Copies of this chain bind each other. A is one copy, B any other.
Amino acid sequence: MSQPVLLVRGDREYLVEPGTEKGTDLGVLEIPADVDPGDTIETHLGNEFRVRRLRGPDLFHHFERTGAPMVPRDVGLVIGETGVSRGDRILDAGTGTGVLAASMARAGASVVTYEQDPDFADVARENMALGGVADAVDVRTGDVTDDVDDLEPSSFDVVTLDTADAPAMVARTPELLVEGGFVAVYSPFVESTREVARTAREAGLSNVRTRETIQREMDFDDRGSRPSTAPVGHTGYLTIARNE
Chain A residues engaging chain B, CB cutoff 8 angstroms: 6, 8, 37-38, 50, 52-53, 55-59, 72-86, 103, 106-108, 154, 157, 178-182, 188-194, 197-198, 209-218, 220, 223-235, 237, 244
Q: A78-B76, A80-B56 are in contact. Are A226 and B234 (CB under 8 A)?
A: yes
CB closest residue in chain B, given A86: B108
Min CB distance A68 to B, Å, is 10
Q: Beyond A214-B215, A218-B193, A224-B190, is A56–B72 a contact (Cβ under 8 Å)?
A: no
From B6, B190, B211, give the contact of A190 (CB < 8 A).
B190
Contact between B75 and A80 (Cβ–Cβ < 8 Å)?
Answer: yes
Nearest CB to that of A3 among chain B residues?
B87
Instruction: Please name the residue on chain B nearest to A188 by beta carbon.
Output: B226
- Given A53-B178, A56-B80, A77-B77, 8 other A-B contacts at CB below 8 A? A55-B182, A77-B80, A107-B107, A188-B224, A190-B224, A211-B215, A227-B234, A228-B233
A56-B76 CB under 8 A given contacts A190-B224, A217-B209: no
A179 touches B108 (CB 8 A): no
Given A8-B244, A220-B197, A55-B83 contact (CB < 8 Å)? yes
B77 touches A73 (CB 8 A): yes
Q: Which residues of B contact A74 (CB under 8 A)?
A: 80
Q: What residues on B are CB-neighbors of A82 within 8 Å? A: 55-57
Chain B residues whose CB sits within 8 angstroms of the CB of A234 once the complex forms: 216, 226-229, 231
Q: Could you say how many copies of this chain the assembly holds?
A: 4
From B38, B180, B198, B218, give the contact of A154 (CB < 8 A): B38
Q: How far is the CB of A150 from chain B (nearest CB, A)?
A: 21
Q: Which of B38, B157, B216, B237 contacts A214 (CB 8 A)?
A: B216
Cα distance, A157 to B38, chains bound together (Å): 12
Contact of A86 among B81, B86, B209 (CB under 8 A): B86
Known contacts A216-B214, A224-B191; A106/B77 CB under 8 A: no
Q: List 20 A-B contacts (CB under 8 A).
A: A8-B244, A52-B179, A52-B180, A53-B178, A55-B85, A56-B85, A58-B180, A72-B80, A72-B83, A76-B80, A86-B106, A190-B218, A190-B225, A193-B218, A210-B217, A211-B217, A228-B234, A229-B234, A229-B235, A231-B231
